[in-house]
Amino acid sequence: MSNVSTESGQVSLSGLDELWFQVAGTRCNLTCTHCFISCSPHNNSFGFLSMEVVRKALLESAEWGVREYYFTGGEPFLNPDLVEMLVLALGYGPVTVLTNATVLKDEWLECLRDAEERGPYSLEFRVSVDGPDAATNDPIRGEGTFDRAMRGVEMLVRHGVLPIITMTRTWADADDHRVLSRFRDVLARHGCDRPRLKVLPRLLIGAEAIRTCGYDEADRVSAGMLDGFDSDQLICSHSRTVTDRGVFVCPILLEEPSARLGGTLAEADRPFSLDQGACVTCYQFGAICTNPSGQVFEQTGAGAGEVAP
Amino acid sequence: MKLAFFGGLYSNYLALEAAIADASRRDVQQLFCLGDMGAFGPHPDRVVSLLRDEGVACVQGNYDDSIGNELADCQCGYTDPRDNRFAQISYDYTLEKTSPVHRRWLRGLPTSLNFELAGVRMHLCHGSPRRTNEFLWESTTSDRFLDRLIDPTNAEVVLGTHTGLHWTRTTPRGRRFVNVGVLGRPANDGRTNVWYTVLDLSGQEVGVEFVPVEYDFLRLSNEMRDEGLPDEFTATIESGWWTTCLEVLPSRERRCGRH
| Strand A10-11 to A4-5 pairing | antiparallel
Please give the full DSSP string across B171-218, using - where no structure is assigned: -TTS-EEEE---SSS--SSS---EEEEEEE-SSSS-EEEEEEE---HH
**C-alpha A288 chain-centroid distance:** 7
Greatest Cα pair distance, chain B, in angstroms, is 50
Q: Residue B45: which CATH number?
A: 3.60.21.10
Total number of domains constituting chain B: 1
* Closest residue in A to B114 (Cα–Cα): A308
Q: What is the tens place of the pLDDT at every residue in A36-51? A: 999 999 999 999 999 9
Q: Does B228 touch chain A (CB under 8 A)?
A: no
Residues of chain A contacting B138 with CB distance shorter than 8 Å: 120
Residue A125 is which amino acid?
Answer: F
B173 in A contact zone (CB under 8 Å): no
Owning domain of residue B30: 2-256
Three-class secondary structure of residue B224 per DSSP: helix
pLDDT at residue A176, rounded to an integer: 85
For residues A242, A244, A245, A246, the Cα torsion angle rounded to the nearest 10 degrees is: 30
Q: Are B113 and A306 in contact (CB < 8 Å)? A: yes
Question: How would you write A269-296 as a 3-class SS string?
Answer: CCCEECCCHHHHHHHHHCCCCCCCCCCC
Give A306's contacts in chain B (Cβ within 8 Å): 110-114
Q: Average pLDDT of B1-29?
A: 98
CA distances from B246 to B89, B136, B258 (A): 16, 15, 11
DSSP classification of residue A76: G
**Cα Rg of chain A, angstroms:** 19
Please calculate the CA angle B172-B173-B176 and round it to the nearest 5 degrees.
85
Shortest distance between the Cα of A24 and any Cα of chain B, in A, equals: 24
Higher pLDDT, B173 or B73: B173
**pLDDT score, position A299:** 63
- Rounded Cα–Cα distance for residues B209 and A169 (Å): 46
pLDDT band for position B74 (50/70/90)?
confident
pLDDT in tens, A228-254: 898 888 999 999 999 999 999 999 999
Whether residue B134 lies within 8 A of chain A, CB to CB, comes out as yes
Q: Model ipTM? A: 0.94
**pLDDT given at position A300:** 56
Q: For position A298, what pLDDT does the model report?
A: 66
Residue A158 has pLDDT above 90, yes or no: yes
Residues near A83 by Cβ (< 8 Å), separated by ≥ 6? A108, A111, A112
Using the predicted structure, report yes or no on whether residue A6 has a pLDDT greater than 70. no
**Chain A CA closest to residue B134:** A296
Q: What are phi and psi of B31, to 5 degrees?
A: -105, 140
Q: Which 3 state secondary structure label does DSSP give A15?
A: coil
Each residue's pLDDT tens digit, B43-55: 999 999 999 999 9
Pick the range with the lowest mean pLDDT from A74-78, A202-206, B206-210, B249-253: A202-206
Residue A213 contacts B where some CB pair is shorter than 8 Å: no
Q: Which helix (H) or strand (E) holds A267?
A: none
Confidence of residue A296 (pLDDT cuts 50, 70, 90): low
Q: Where are the alpha helices (DSSP H) in A70-173?
A: 82-90, 106-118, 134-141, 145-158
Any idea which fold A4-285 has? Answer: TIM Barrel (3.20.20)
- Tell me the pairing of strands A196-200 and A164-168: parallel
**Residue A27 CA to chain centroid, in angstroms?**
16
A279, A81 Cβ separation under 8 angstroms? no
- A180, A293, A303 member nearest B249 (Cβ): A293
| Sheet with strand A4-5: strands edge to edge | A4-5, A10-11, A272-273
Residues of B in contact with A120 (CB under 8 A): 138-139, 169
Which of A121, A161, A296 is closest, CB to CB, to B139? A121
For residue B247, the model assigns a pLDDT of 85
| DSSP line for B145-171 | HHHHHHGGGT-SEEEE-SSS--EEEE-
Of residues B113, B141, B259, nearest to A67 (C-beta): B141
Q: Where are the domains of chain A?
A: 4-285
Q: Mean pLDDT across the stretch B102-116?
A: 98
- Please count the other Cβ atoms lying within 10 Å of the Cβ belonging to residue B258: 12
Residues of chain B positioned with their CB less than 8 A from the CB of A299: 62, 65, 75, 131-133
Instruction: Check A305 against B139: CB less than 8 A apart.
Output: no
CA distance linking residue B16 with residue B23, whole number of Å: 10
pLDDT at A60 over 60: yes
Question: CA dist B83 to A236, B76, B248, Å?
Answer: 28, 10, 10
Q: Do A121 and B140 touch (CB under 8 A)?
A: yes
Which of A160, A214, A224, A226 has the alpha carbon at shortest distance from A192? A160
Backbone angles phi, psi at B12, to 5 degrees: -80, 80
Residues B95 and B81: their CA atoms lie apart, in Å, by: 20
Tens-place pLDDT, residues B236-254: 999 999 999 898 899 999 9
pLDDT at position A302 over 70: no
pLDDT higher than 90, residue A303: no
A15, A197, A299 member nearest B148 (Cβ): A15
CA distance A301 to chain B (A): 6
Alpha-carbon span B10 to A27, nearest angstrom: 48
